[in-house]
Amino acid sequence: MGVNKQLKEENIYKPLPVSIVRNLPQIKDHRLFQLKIENGTTWETFSHQPGQFIEVSIFGKGEAPISISSPPTRLDTLEICVRKVGILTNALFELGKGSTFYIRGPYGRGFPIDILKGHKLLLVAGGLGLAPLRSLLLYALDKRGEFDDIILMYGTNNPDNVLFKYELLSFFDRKDIKYLYSVDKDEEGIWKQYVGVVTGLFDQTELSPDDTYAVMCGPPVMYRFVIQKLLSLGFAKDHIYVSLERMMKCGVGKCGHCAIGDKYCCTDGPVFSYPEIESIKEAI
């Protein structure tokens, strides 16, 4: 993992054309895009790791970092789940099936699969933070034998904003994954599970901190609370991993935008172990 040295001699800023195979509306302003590489090569050669991201490029609208949502175990398409928020993402939503745009990557250091293997996995996701965690989740489910228990905690602000709804529902039929879903508010009273912030889910289940690795991704406010909770439950600091978001321009450690102390979120992260960033005040 880490930086892909192969790219060293090439122009790291040159994007590669992909086309949209399917464009699946998720919730309001969120879509899942399934992509294929235009020049006929496969995603195998792209060789991404769960937790890595790409730079999406639409000429005239700029570039934006977007997590890869699909696992390297499912390579027929590459999936990204995008929220429409600004210039580039609006332009992306204008594109239909068969349309072309450009990407660069895969970038960054993903989840430490080799460390996680053989252990219990606790995935804590808030909102769109599920996008990068989903690549790890599906990876672990596809290689189910390589992991011990898998627990997913997923919180959204209300029942309308649950991403990957059908996928999450399908876990109801599985015995080999434990899922806990929460919504911050349920004004219509339709939510059958936990109502409250995602940290409340910790009181709903027994965890075994010694052999569990916790990984999390969500909105900025979530990290501190979840980490506090984990530490109070007895999780060792090096059993906690966070995937962080920063404003990024280049994705390859040059433009400086994503710096966090002496680290660059785009190349040293976006996944960090808690000890790596614990002493950096601006990190979380």
Partner 1 sequence: MKSIDKKDVIDMLKDWTNEYHVLCPNKKINDDCIFDGFEQDHFTLDYGKLSFCLKSAFFPQSEIIFEVEDNQYHEVISSEKTILFGIRACDMMGILQSSSFMSRDYGDVYYSAKDDATIKVVMACPGPQNETCFCTTTNSGPFAEKGFDLQFFDMGEEFLVEVGSKKGKELISGELFTDIDSGDAKGKIAAFKKKASEAIPKVDEIKSVMEMLKNGVVEDEEWEEFGQKCIACGGCAFVCPTCTCFNVYDLARDGSGMRVRGWDTCLYGGFTREASMHNPRPTQGSRLKRRYEHKLKDYNEQDLQGGLCTCVGCGRCSDVCPVDIGILNLVLAISRDYKSG
Ligand X SMILES: Cc1cc2nc3c(=O)[nH]c(=O)nc-3n(C[C@H](O)[C@H](O)[C@H](O)COP(=O)(O)OP(=O)(O)OC[C@H]3O[C@@H](n4cnc5c(N)ncnc54)[C@H](O)[C@@H]3O)c2cc1C
* Binding residues vs ligand X (CB under 6 A): 53, 62, 64-67, 80-83, 85-89, 128, 131, 245-248, 270
DSSP label at 139? H
How many chain residues bind ligand FES (CB under 6 A)? Answer: 13
- In whole angstroms, the minimum distance from the beta carbon of 101 to ligand X comes to 13
DSSP label at 224? H
- Confirm if 180 and 117 have CB atoms less than 8 A apart: no
Cα–Cα distance for residue pair 144/282, rounded to 1 Å:
36
Q: Which of ligand FES, partner 1, ligand X, none is residue 36 near (CB under 5 to 8 Å by kind)?
A: none
Interface characters, 223-262, with ligand FES (x: CB under 6 A):
-------------------------xxxx-xxxxxx----
CB-based contacts of 263: which residues, under 8 Å, 6+ apart?
269, 272, 276, 277, 280
Q: Which of ligand X, partner 1, ligand FES, none is residue 59 near (CB under 5 to 8 Å by kind)?
A: partner 1
**Is 266 a residue that touches ligand FES (CB under 6 A)?**
yes
- In whole angstroms, the minimum distance from the beta carbon of 132 to ligand X comes to 6
Q: Which is nearer to ligand X, 133 or 202 (CB)?
A: 133
- In whole angstroms, the minimum distance from the beta carbon of 1 to ligand FES comes to 17
Cα–Cα distance for residue pair 124/152, rounded to 1 Å:
6
Q: Which residues bind ligand FES (CB under 6 A)?
A: 248-251, 253-258, 264-266
